[in-house]
């Protein structure tokens, strides 16, 4: 086991040493909602925020591992169209493993795309003051994709994440999956 860990560490260090490596801290907004709500209800995306960063390993084609803290809000609406005064607030750590590609690449400007799997590790879930974390899966998998621009050392990205595993446990909202848009800005070192 120690040999495997040592070999893996040597591989990662040699990969980072031989490839171009950039660090990309970012902040941004999220708009997430859930599919297949319980009968008589609807979910509406509200603005949330995210902060974190990723690495870009490679030149034109990049591996982009990263981690973000996300605080999302979702409103609930009943069949009569009445929106609840309480939002569903869910906090999680998003772990990304994306592959990126620079479509346009110059010293001043880059247009890039990325896609790949992500995993959201749930930290907390509340509806108003009520803790509803026990109604949620501890983590969910997503497929995520985005398009971004880099101008000098500044970066911006717009993307979409679609849940591929169930969000809630039991029968609360069977087969409900989380999805949403995000927008981030940051710098590239």
Residue spans of the domains in the chain: they are 21-187
- Which residues, at least 6 apart from 5, have a Cβ–Cβ distance to it below 8 Å? none
Tokens of 101: 């590609």
Identify any residues that bridge with 67 across adjacent strands, giving them in sequence order. Answer: 53, 95
Per-residue pLDDT tens digits for 7-64: 555 555 555 555 689 999 999 999 998 888 777 778 888 999 999 999 999 999 999 9
Q: pTM of the full predicted structure?
A: 0.84
**What CATH number labels 21-187?**
2.40.160.20
């Amino acid at each position: 086991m120690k040999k495997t860990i040592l070999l893996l560490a040597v591989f990662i260090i040699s990969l980072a040493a031989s490839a171009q490596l950039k660090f990309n801290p970012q902040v941004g907004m999220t708009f997430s909602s859930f599919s297949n709500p319980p009968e008589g209800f609807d979910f509406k995306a509200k603005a949330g925020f995210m902060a974190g960063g990723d690495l870009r390993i490679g030149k034109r084609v990049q591996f982009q591992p990263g981690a973000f803290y996300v605080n999302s809000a979702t409103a609930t609406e009943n069949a009569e169209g009445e929106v609840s005064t309480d939002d569903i607030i869910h906090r999680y750590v998003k772990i990304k493993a994306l592959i990126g590609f620079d479509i346009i690449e110059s010293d001043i400007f880059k247009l890039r795309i990325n896609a790949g799997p992500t995993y959201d590790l749930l930290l907390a879930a509340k509806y108003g003051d009520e803790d509803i974390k026990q109604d949620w899966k501890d983590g969910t998998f997503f497929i995520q994709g985005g398009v971004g621009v880099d101008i000098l050392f500044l970066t911006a990205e717009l993307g979409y994440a679609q849940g591929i595993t169930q969000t809630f446990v039991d029968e609360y909202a069977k087969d409900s999956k989380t999805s949403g848009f995000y927008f981030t800005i940051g710098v590239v070192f």
